[in-house]
Amino acid sequence: MSELDLIGRHAAEGKLHGRYWYFVDNLKEAEPGHGEMVLCFSLPMNHLGQHVENFGFSPQPTELLEDLPNGNRILVWKQKCRENTRQEIFYYDFDLTYQEVSLKIDPSKVIRCDTDSVEYKRYTISEGWLDITDEIRAKAKEIVGKEANTYYIAKKIFDWVVDNFQYEYPDFKARGASKSLKRLKGDCGEFSAVFVSLCRSQGVPARTVTCNWFKGGGHQWAEVYLPPYEWVPVDTTLARRFKYEPESAIALRAMQIAGIKCKDPDWFFGNLYPYRLICLIGENIKVKSSAAGIERKFFILQPGGIVAYPPAAEFTGFSSPPVNGGVYVFGEKSRDAAYAREQVEKDLAESYFQAGIYDKAELGLRRALKDKPADEYSWLILGQVYLATGKYGKAIDSFSNAIDGRAGSLKPVWDALSHFYIGNCRDILAERKLALLEYEKVVASGIDYEALQERARKCILLPYVTVKKNF
């Protein structure tokens, strides 16, 4: 039995070897010897429910930094492009011991955090997407009332977020606790941000925690500091899922991926499922490397490189943007470079598309769809590849397959985008009546990801071929 066979069998603990691979492709120096890349990553760390050891790196890091008091370790690579090379490979190895976290908290023993402590000073401030506005304070006061026990303060805020928030994937301009509070919508990051900001506004230290699943993808939850129990995990997103949609396909898949054994929403206040690799604690991470000559601040690293905001992969001296991305691989295939590259190229298909490398984009998407033929997002990007290359019939077929596919909680967003792009194709083919039907579906959806409502309304007034220069 392989190490990964345990996943899905609800083992509460285990050990895995992991490697994080990062590939940089499409390297084209503007002048020989001038190409340079700087990559930053947050390494997995010892934390609640996990122990990480035996790190190995290729190439050797330019610098390893401590991010205190979060407890992160930041890896920095700075490297010149080798002569006559079009790609570079970076990776780090580690051994992971993981287990389920089950905390037995007695609320009567919870005490207020010392206001002179590091935890209070660092994790009750307003910062970045974890902003504390007058509206945040007022809502928290309304939720908490006269409650003085910090356990019950946090629990009341948890219950309120679970009962009042709805899952909707936002674009980056819509992120932040104060913005999401007004909409009462957001993804796991926004669920966590609102919970954290509401807690902080009441003097209860709180922070976000970001993970990657063993089988791909990422997630975020929160932690609240409750002495003497210290940091307590709180997942409002999954609690809502199991409270209101416990038998949905998304909830059942979450049970398998994360190793969740309990469907009680309250379980997600103080407990943590086992199948996850914590790769970042906190947000607004400051990286100052004297060896690499950089000073940066990242809203989030998950775990870094292109998967960060702003991107933690910087390239200078190249004539076109390199395509780059990474993947965690666990178990017996963790050292298999060909397997890792194939996994990454599936994920990088969108980046190849954006770089105009349409053949690699199509190849990666075809591989992804071979594994998951009903994956809506892959069909959506494949449709855009065909739209960009003038294959409008194939594009319409791909977007239609996207609408028929599966995408979990993001399905409404990808459906709306697919209808919009079908409308574009119909306009290009001079099928104006059919195009209008698609744009009207977008407007009726109410989805406004990447200003989709405004774009659809413009195309209702004028055909796409007339207004596309404004997109």
Residue 461's CATH number: 1.25.40.10
Report the C-alpha gap between 143 and 391 in whole angstroms.
Answer: 54
DSSP bridge partners of 21:
91, 327
Tell me, what's the pLDDT at 8? 47
Examine the domain organization and report whether 115 and 134 are in the same domain. Answer: yes
Q: Which of 326, 162, 176 is nearest to 245 (CA)?
A: 162
From 241, 273, 305, the end of a domain falls on 273
How many C-beta atoms lie closer than 10 Å to residue 295's C-beta? 10
Angle at 339 between CA 337 and CA 342, to 5 degrees: 105
Domains in the chain, number: 3
Dist CA 116 CA 449 (whole Å):
42
- Taking the C-alpha atoms of residue 350 and residue 13, their distance in angstroms, rounded to an integer, is 35
Q: Is residue 309 part of a domain?
A: yes
* Beta-bridge partners for 94: 18
* pLDDT tens digits along 344-394: 888 888 888 988 889 989 999 999 999 889 999 999 999 999 999 999 999
Distance CA(62)–CA(243), nearest Å, equals 47
| 342 and 441 inside one domain | no
Asked whether 414 and 421 are in contact (CB, 8 A), the reply is: no
pLDDT tens, residue by residue, 42-68 = 999 999 999 999 999 999 999 999 999
21 and 1 in a single domain? The answer is yes
Q: Do residues 108 and 90 both lie within one domain?
A: no
Phi, psi of 14 (to 5 degrees): 175, 180
Q: Looking at 251-384, which runs of residues are DSSP E strands?
A: 271-272, 276-281, 285-289, 294-298, 300-304, 307-309, 313-316, 323-330
CA distance 320 to 313: 14
Q: Are residues 367 and 309 in the same domain?
A: no
- Across the range 324-351, mean pLDDT stands at 92
Average pLDDT, the chain: 93
Question: What is the predicted pLDDT for the residue at 321?
Answer: 87
CB under 8 Å to 199, separation ≥6 — which residues?
140, 153, 154, 157, 205, 206, 222, 224
Residue 338's alpha-carbon distances to 87, 201, 267, 335, 372, in angstroms, are: 14, 49, 40, 9, 20
Q: Could you list the residue range(s) of the whole structural domain that residue 168 is in?
A: 101-273
Q: Domain boundary at 347, 369, 384, which?
A: 347
- Report yes or no on 61 lying in a domain: yes
Decide if pLDDT at 1 tops 50: no
- Considering the domain architecture, whether residues 125 and 77 belong to the same structural domain is answered as no
Sign of CA dihedral 192, 197, 202, 203: positive
Per residue in 297-308, pLDDT (tens digit) is 999 998 999 999
Cis amide bond preceding 303, omega within 30 = yes
For residues 131 and 210, state if they share a domain.
yes
Check whether 276 has a pLDDT greater than 50: yes
Give the separation between CA 191 and CA 176, rounded to whole angstroms: 10
pLDDT score of 3: 53
Q: Which of 420, 402, 421 is nearest to 411 (CA)?
A: 402
In a domain, 353, yes or no: no
Q: Tell whether 165 and 291 lie within a shared domain.
A: no
CATH number at residue 150: 3.10.620.30
Q: Does residue 352 fall inside a structural domain? A: no
72 and 220 housed in the same domain: no
| Domain assignment of residue 120, yes or no | yes
| Residue 366 counted as domain residue | yes
Residue 413 included in any domain: yes
Looking at the fold, whether 235 and 109 belong to one and the same domain comes out as: yes
Q: What pTM was estimated for this model as a whole?
A: 0.85
Q: For residue range 17-31, what is the model confidence (pLDDT) as tens digits? A: 999 999 999 999 998
- pLDDT grade for 75, boundaries at 50, 70 and 90: very high
Q: Which residues contact 248 (CB under 8 A, 6 or more apart)?
A: 241
From the list 380, 378, 384, the residue with the least C-alpha distance to 416 is: 380
Residue 258, in any domain of the structure: yes
Looking at 211-215, 293-297, 430-434, 435-439, which range is the least confident one?
211-215
- Among 247, 273, 299, the domain boundary falls at 273
Same domain, 286 and 425: no
What SS3 state is found at 395?
helix
Lowest-pLDDT range of 33-37, 142-146, 153-157:
33-37
- Which DSSP string do the residues of 135-153 spell out, in sequence order? HHHHHHHHHHTT---HHHH
Share of the chain above pLDDT 90, in %: 83
Are residues 251 and 122 both part of a single domain?
A: yes
Percent of the chain with pLDDT over 70: 97
List the helix and strand counts (H, then E) for the chain. 16, 20
